[in-house]
Amino acid sequence: MSSARLLCSGQGLPWGRLTALAGADTGCIPRVTRRDRIAAIFVDDLVAPAASILKQCMLSGGADALVHREVLTCRTERSNAVVYGTPANIYRGCLSLEGQPFGLGSLAEPIRKCVDGAVLPETLQVNSTVLNYSHTPIVMGILNITPDSFSDGGNYATPQAAADQALKMQEAGADIIDIGGESTRPGSRAVSVEQQKLRVVPVIKAIREVSSVPISIDTTFPEVARAAVKAGAGMINSVNGLETPGMPELAVSLELPVVLMHMKGAPETMQEKPFYRDAAGEITDYLVSRVEALVKLGMPRELILVDPGIGFGKRLEDNLELIRSLKWIAAVTGCRVLLGHSRKSFLGSITGIQKPGLRDSVSHVVTVLAEGADVVRVHDVQGTVAAFKVAGAVRGDL
């Protein structure tokens, strides 16, 4: 069975600003947007005749498809394809696909879904604060209170120091503070439930004495999550997709937002020669399975965010492919997407910057380029907010 995955989709024109300048009805924006940008959609594993028919159907709608060079000579039995064109033309091509043989009729809907994306929630409530998903992603500030975190371990070792840092991040523009009592850097070892509770609970209480900023607890253990929520956390961030026994049931019972992340293996071993045939496809399949399991238990889908897990059992090429696939991940899972790329080693592989704390500038590049990121989890909140402001000004956002 062939699948379709969105590879990229152009930014297009700033229609919000243009409709305001013309005094036009903003209701036209979805319609005109379909005409001003090019989308590229990857379709895998077609038999050669199906690839040829797909190309002809897309041409009939004004779009096109790249197929294997030997499809027309019949020297290949199978071919991948890259469908490309404006969304409006791809839609017309999909009309021609309906009723075609080789299962192409059933391919029309997933291609349209890649173009349209999913209907996603407009807001996220954490604690008593309602956050809006808009053209600027929600900013989650990272507060590491562990002695061995990869870039700032030991900097906030006391509850007071951690609370002071949380206030600084809030003042800089952080929408959520993410607190973890266990390092999950490559090679790190597990920390006991009791040790995590001793680390995170006093910090959350100290923050709650001076601020109502939304707090997320970064943990894989239900006992830690329960204690953190009791102390004042309003969101659960799970690096193992809530796979720890008891975590799914606890999350459903608390009715709080959760982040489901993909990780290959465990932190201690996850970077030992990870391999994927199709990183974006395999990781998205995993996220879909975790989302559906949670929904089946009674969790509202709008409370679930997914995280492809940049750097967690991934090669450089896997990380880059995932960043390019965020819109598609949202469309397939039906959930908002969190991107955790800040200071990660793949940035060092690209730039040669070896010290994680010096990678903030290149982290900001990814932050503003990553289309489809609804929440960004970052160390440098002030720099992130500034990067969004500059990017918005350049785009002409109102």
User: Hey, which residues are catalytic here?
Assistant: 344, 377
Q: Is 5 left (phi over 0), alpha (psi -120 to 50) or beta?
A: beta
CA gap 43, 112 in Å, rounded: 12
Q: Strand, coil or helix: what is 90?
A: helix
CA gap 74, 39 in Å, rounded: 28
Answer positive or negative: Cα dihedral of 328, 374, 131, 17.
negative
State the alpha helices, DSSP H only, in the chain: 15-22, 29-33, 48-60, 87-97, 108-116, 159-172, 193-208, 222-231, 247-254, 279-297, 316-324, 326-333, 345-351, 360-369, 381-395
Buried b / exposed e over 344-379, threshold 16 CB at 10 Å, is bbbbbeeeebeebeebbebbbebbbebebbbbbbbb
Q: Which of 212, 323, 302 is nearest to 258 (CA)?
A: 302
Residue 353 sits at φ, ψ, to 5 deg, of: -80, 110
